[in-house]
Structure 1
Amino acid sequence: MSLFSGTISTLENALNYSATKQKVISQNIANVDTPNYKAKDVSFKAALDQAVGQSISTNRTDNRHFVFTKPSYSLSIMNKNLVSYNENGNSVDIDQEMADLAKNQIYFNALTERINGKFSTLQNVIRGGK
């Protein structure tokens, strides 16, 4: 959704990241006792590197202006590296997963508050400031 600025679409992408991270953390917690289960994580760095490597499209009025194109990225889910394994080959650390879950919840709540503020502002503009 591209209304007046890229802020709403940026917030939408951040919400998609948070939702994907929630699913992965939930899978890890659900499989805490599954033998040989390898904990997974969502790679934000890979998505960021992919987006930074691209440029944003703009209207150039002079050949000396920089060329930008719109970044696009996809989130990748990968196994966590450098983790210790339990005696059954499982690599889920329940304490770390619960901490990640709480951190992701705070992040998600902040994003929803911000996007609600954006929509409130748009609603106020549509009403004419009344």
Structure 2
Amino acid sequence: MAITDPLFGIQEPALQVQRRRLELIAANIANADTPGFEARDVDFRSVLAQAQTQLDKANAHNGKLIASTNSNLVADTQPIWRLATQPSEDGNTVDTQVEQAQFADAALRYQASLNFIDGRVKSLLSAITGQ
């Protein structure tokens, strides 16, 4: 059973998007002192809404579209430029405090999705083994 099974619902694409967010935020923090670097992020809500729409369509077709639609979700996601909260003379838009807070938020959401999937897997194993 693939993780893209309807049993896991929106959690699989949520993991993908949060992983992408964590990568972008880590790059922002790493480039905090790079002149002209512009902070980037992913609009999590819009991407997840798109994933939910695709998931609903796939469920209407007995789950046949899920693997193909979710596999391209993160690859097709375009990062957005984060607006500068503090002006910088060198054109860098990274605010390390904002980035660290965003990273912590994304990490918590990623862990929550993992916990949900782990709970589903444990429930399945319990049902299969009868324990």
TM-score (norm 1): 0.75
**Cross-structure match for 1:121:** 123
**Cross-structure match for 2:6:** 6
Higher Cα radius of gyration: 1
How far 1:8 sits from its partner (Å)?
1.5
The aligned length equals: 119
**Cross-structure match for 1:56:** 57
- Contact 1:46–1:76 under 8 Å retained in 2: no
TM-score (norm 2): 0.75
Higher RCO structure (Cα 8 Å, ≥6 apart): 2
- Answering whether residue 80 of structure 2 is matched by residue 78 of structure 1, we say yes
- Contact 1:47–1:76 under 8 Å retained in 2: no
Structure 2: distance between partners of 1:34 and 1:124:
51
- The residue type paired with residue 125 of structure 1 is A
**Cross-structure match for 1:30:** 30
Q: Gaps spanning 5+ residues in structure 2: where?
A: none
Structure 2: distance between partners of 1:94 and 1:14:
24
**Cross-structure match for 2:47:** 47
- Answering whether residue 113 of structure 2 is matched by residue 111 of structure 1, we say yes
Structure 2: distance between partners of 1:49 and 1:110:
18
Q: Which moved more, 1:45-54 or 1:73-82?
A: 45-54
Q: Deviations over 1:50-87 (max 9, x none)?
A: 4566661526xxxxxxxxx9684442212224654311
Structure 2: distance between partners of 1:11 and 1:40:
23
Q: Gaps spanning 5+ residues in structure 1: where?
A: 60-68
Q: Provide the aligned C-alpha RMSD in A.
A: 2.6
